Chain A
Amino acid sequence: MEDCIRLEYDVDGENFASAGNASESVKRTLKQLGVSPEFVRKVAIAMYEGEINMVIHAHGGKALAEIYPDHIGIYLKDSGPGIADVDLAMKAGYSTATENIRSLGFGAGMGLPNMKKYSDEMTIETAVGVGTTVYLRVNF
């Protein structure tokens, strides 16, 4: 057996309704593995926010989950516009979402802060015009 389980998802940048499908599937998987509810919840919230960010800010991307017996690593990778000022983006309430997006109930500027809050480790690799990869780790 490999040392981890790898699950990969395409996150469709055109489709708001399908945003959350990847985190939903990961959540289901963790439950099947008997990971306790509090961790499932942390993973679900953190991953969902990352998925939504790829949809609303980066025209979609790929989500990769690596599940180990004691933790999960999540990579959210896109080829979108990148983040010019990561510290600013991490501030609670900061958002560049358009009025349109806000009217759909997204863009409260709490996504990145919540991803940080619900994960044990988070790194952002980003370059303007190239794309962004967010890594999240949640220990069980």
Chain B
Amino acid sequence: MEVTLKTVVLDSEKCIGCITCMRRCPTEAIRIENGKAKILYDKCINCGECVRSCKGGAKRPVYDSFDLVSSYKYKIALPSPSLFGQFNNLDDPNYVLEGLLALGFDEVFEVGLAAELVTDCTRRLMQKNTLPRPVISTACPAVAELIMLRFQELADHLLPVYAPAKIAAKLAKKQAVARGIPADDIGIFFISPCPAKVYSLHREEVSNEKYISGVLSQSDIYFRLVEKMNKIQNPRKLCKCGYSGIGWGSSGGESNSLGLGNYIHCSGTRNVLGLLREMSDGKLEGVEFVEMNMCPGGCVGGVLNVENPFIARNKMRQICDKLRIPPATMEEYGLDESFFLWDKAPEPSTAFQLDPDRFAAMRKLVQVEELLKKLPGIDCGACGAPTCRCHAEDVVMSGGQPHCVKLEGGQA
């Protein structure tokens, strides 16, 4: 598969070829080639872990420019719940909404509100009891990608419902069009905490229609927004999202809101990988719902945030405590389940297959195992691959020679 959309890229100038990001990438998608950390995009899930771990800032997230906003006549901003945790001394979320309007947006549609609607829809689907248990949340696109890449045996557990940002875009567009605004004039901009959402909203893997005009970065608009917010005196009561929707910004918010007894939530790449393994071994007997977030602490830990995730989470909790707005329901917005359900299931990735042909794949595997016996098995990373096994696979797949510093003359 050719990947054209890239939401994490390497700044070669800054890359010193250390192996930090290669070691931490959850999908073994990074190799050091000619002293630079190259991303193998067919294995990349846009989680941002390499951005988080690079000390020199050489891994860069990619997102749309704020300048794009002005090219639309009617501009709608979609702030995510985690945005509300980024500000010092924010006691009223309406400052953020007013700030976005002051930045030039004509309308703000809170993603947290859409999240509450997703909760309502999910609860109904869970009650119908037709989805295989445990149901796995698809709100974190990096987790969904990881499953389609490395845990395809769990694909039928994925909750086949759009993520809140997509629902927010779809609903905002529907409402604006109903108010008579020409569809072509409408520009819808999600303000993202992470490159994974930038990717998924542009790629639209499970949907036939695109509602998003651009995906901005929380860190990119942050200072412009703070400047506007500081000038606001008495914000209007614009906020429609309640504690439940804001709660989605940290790990556990989504699953807590479902009112189930038997559920698990976990966050962080290592924890997510560990839990996926357990699930794949059939070990989550009785569990109804599993919420996984690739970022530590949930979306507050996304790499496009400004604040430390745990400080942000505390701030969000304090805002939530004050918000008395009850969760939105599908009735209120005149929606039924069809509004939420995927148009199509995501495609499994074949990036980890050695060959499309079983016999050829087996032949390659034999070569990999043979080569592996000669390599030292210490996963030192000096060859430019995260593990000896990866190096052996790379060599077999490319038909090249191994170059291991631990072997006599570097050759196996």
Find out whether the CB atom of B362 lies under 8 angstroms from the CB atom of A31.
no
Instruction: Return the contact of A69 from the options B348, B352, B358 (Cβ within 8 A).
Output: B358
Bound complex: CA of A40 vs CA of B354, how far in Å? 16
CB distance from B84 to the nearest CB of A (A): 38
Q: Which of A48-89 contact B (CB under 8 A)?
A: 48, 67, 69
Find out whether the CB atom of B365 lies under 8 angstroms from the CB atom of A33.
yes
CB distance from A114 to the nearest CB of B (A): 8
Find out whether the CB atom of B155 lies under 8 angstroms from the CB atom of A7.
no
Across-interface contacts of B363 in A (CB, < 8 A):
1
Bound complex: CA of A48 vs CA of B280, how far in Å? 10
Find out whether the CB atom of B152 lies under 8 angstroms from the CB atom of A31.
yes
A37 at interface by CB-CB < 8 Å: yes
A14 at interface by CB-CB < 8 Å: no
B73 at interface by CB-CB < 8 Å: no
Q: With A23-B281, A24-B277, A27-B280 known to touch, is A32 a contact of B365 (CB < 8 Å)? A: yes
Find out whether the CB atom of A33 lies under 8 angstroms from the CB atom of B280.
no
CB distance from B392 to the nearest CB of A (A): 12
Across-interface contacts of B185 in A (CB, < 8 A):
none
Find out whether the CB atom of A32 lies under 8 angstroms from the CB atom of B353.
yes
Q: With A24-B277, A32-B352, A34-B353 known to touch, is A5 a contact of B282 (CB < 8 Å)? A: no
Bound complex: CA of A32 vs CA of B356, how far in Å? 9
Bound complex: CA of A9 vs CA of B149, how far in Å? 25
A99 at interface by CB-CB < 8 Å: no
Find out whether the CB atom of A69 lies under 8 angstroms from the CB atom of B362.
yes
Across-interface contacts of A69 in B (CB, < 8 A):
358-359, 362
B347 at interface by CB-CB < 8 Å: no
CB distance from B348 to the nearest CB of A (A): 8
Residue of A nearest to B368 (CB): A32
A45 at interface by CB-CB < 8 Å: yes
A29 at interface by CB-CB < 8 Å: yes
Q: Which of A8-32 contact B (CB under 8 A)?
A: 20, 23-24, 27, 29, 31-32
Residue of B nearest to A70 (CB): B358
Find out whether the CB atom of A31 lies under 8 angstroms from the CB atom of B277.
no
Bound complex: CA of A124 vs CA of B362, how far in Å? 28
Instruction: Return the contact of A29 from the options B150, B280, B281, B365 (Cβ within 8 A).
Output: B365
Find out whether the CB atom of B361 lies under 8 angstroms from the CB atom of A20.
no
Bound complex: CA of A29 vs CA of B203, how far in Å? 29
CB distance from A69 to the nearest CB of B (A): 5
Instruction: Return the contact of A44 from the options B281, B361, B365 (Cβ within 8 A).
Output: B281
Find out whether the CB atom of B365 lies under 8 angstroms from the CB atom of A41.
no
Bound complex: CA of A67 vs CA of B362, how far in Å? 9
Residue of A nearest to B282 (CB): A45
Across-interface contacts of A5 in B (CB, < 8 A):
362, 365-366, 369
Binary CB contact string for chain B from 314 to 353 against chain A (1 if under 8 A, 0 otherwise): 0000000000000000000000000000000000101011
Find out whether the CB atom of A37 lies under 8 angstroms from the CB atom of B153.
yes
Find out whether the CB atom of A40 lies under 8 angstroms from the CB atom of B153.
yes
Q: With A27-B280, A44-B280 known to touch, is A1 a contact of B153 (CB < 8 Å)? A: no
CB distance from A89 to the nearest CB of B (A): 20
Instruction: Return the contact of A38 from the options B153, B277, B353 (Cβ within 8 A).
Output: B153
Binary CB contact string for chain A from 94 to 128 against chain B (1 if under 8 A, 0 otherwise): 00000000000000000000100000000000000
Most buried by B among A27, A31, A69: A31
Across-interface contacts of B350 in A (CB, < 8 A):
34
Q: With A1-B366, A5-B362, A33-B362 known to touch, is A44 a contact of B153 (CB < 8 Å)? A: yes
Between-chain CB contacts (< 8 Å), 12 pairs: A1-B362, A1-B363, A5-B369, A32-B352, A32-B353, A34-B353, A34-B361, A37-B348, A44-B280, A45-B282, A67-B362, A69-B358
Chain B residues within 8 Å of A, Cβ to Cβ: 150, 152-155, 277, 280-282, 348, 350, 352-356, 358-359, 361-363, 365-366, 369
Chain A residues within 8 Å of B, Cβ to Cβ: 1-2, 5, 7, 20, 23-24, 27, 29, 31-35, 37-38, 40-41, 44-45, 48, 67, 69, 114
Task: List 12 extra interface pairs beyond A32-B353, A32-B354, A33-B365, CB under 8 A.
Answer: A1-B362, A5-B365, A32-B365, A33-B358, A34-B350, A34-B353, A34-B361, A37-B154, A41-B282, A45-B281, A67-B362, A114-B282
Identify the 5 closest CB pairs spanning chains A and B, nearest first.
A37-B153, A41-B153, A37-B152, A45-B282, A33-B361
